[in-house]
Amino acid sequence: MSCEHRVGIGWDRHRLVEGRPLVLGGVEIPHDRGLHGHSDADALFHAAIDAVLGACGADDIGTLFPDDDDAHRGADSAALAARVRRLVEARGFRIVSLDTIVVAERPKLSPHRAAMRERLAATFGVELDRVNVKAKTGEGVGPTGRRETIEATAVALVTRA
């Protein structure tokens, strides 16, 4: 049986603002600020969604869930990811693996890596050992290093039988 493999990449960045909860990888992380956005602004899930969509040639998150659509105001990005999983599975794709990097100067994300990884794996229907979340800092430079933003990058591998 021949299998078609495809890779996709996703990237996202959101501003840190006061008065918002910080949600990354579907996990609420204690912090004095949260990410600004139309949805819950979960940059990690947004990058992962775009990686999966990119691999399947299925547009991008902004096209599927426009930020001027009130239906997505305050949306739970894990729920959007579950919809994306169903969409790509309906096209005959299966997500094989997902590798991600989330960059934040503060808060320290390493204590939350396991929870973020489990949430991504469960939501996208991928075995835990095929999902990874790596946490880095911005080394004090650029908007992320100055604690103005948090950003994430993801690569997805999908297959179609």
Q: Which is nearer to Mg ion, 46 or 85 (CB)?
A: 46
121/115 Cα distance (integer angstroms): 10
One character per residue 45-74, x = contact with Mg ion (rule: CB under 5 A): -x----------------------------
Residue nearest to Mg ion (CB): 46
Count CB neighbours of 70 within 10 A. Answer: 7
- Which amino acid appears at position 19 of this protein? G
One character per residue 19-48, x = contact with Mg ion (rule: CB under 5 A): ---------------------------x--
Does the footprint of Mg ion cover residue 117 (CB under 5 A)? Answer: no
- Minimum Å gap between C-beta 113 and Mg ion is 20
Task: By CB under 5 A, name the binding residues for Mg ion.
Answer: 12, 46
